[in-house]
Amino acid sequence: MSEKLTEDQIRHVAKLARLNCTDQEIATFTTQLAAILDYFDQLRELDTTDVEPLAHCLPIHNIFRPDQILPSLSNEQALANAPRRDGEFFSVPKILDDSNA
């Protein structure tokens, strides 16, 4: 945990998060995240060996409902905010290379 955060690690994280970052942003984020992670290191003081992780505080668990078709958004409503559409579809650049087709 206390190892020094590097710009390459931050570049990798940016790639995982699908965020294009400039070199300047990578440098800034590396410095800032290193300081924040240093602060987080205080959690290491705590012995949590026998402590269960707590994901949420609700007195409920899985909520099931009958598998019934209920009214939902129409195609037109669902597509209304699409930045690019093609008829009834969301439009994206080609995903497969011709060689994979």
Residue choice 24, 59, 67, 99 for contact with other proteins (CB under 8 A): 59
Could you give the angle at which helices 7-16 and 23-40 cross, rounded to 10 degrees?
100
**24 makes contact with other proteins (CB under 8 A):** no
Nearest-approach distance from CB 43 to other proteins, in angstroms: 5
**57 makes contact with other proteins (CB under 8 A):** yes
- Which of residues 60 and 69 has its CB atom nearest to other proteins in the complex? 60
- Residue 9's contacts (CB-CB under 8 Å, 6 or more residues apart) are 30
- Residue 49's contacts (CB-CB under 8 Å, 6 or more residues apart) are none
User: Encoding tokens for residue 31?
Assistant: 């410095």
Angstrom distance (rounded) from CA 48 to CA 30: 29
**31 makes contact with other proteins (CB under 8 A):** no
Binding residues for other proteins (CB under 8 A): 1, 9-10, 13-14, 16-21, 25, 29, 32-33, 35-37, 39-40, 42-44, 46, 48, 51-60, 63, 65, 73, 77-78, 80-84, 90, 92-95
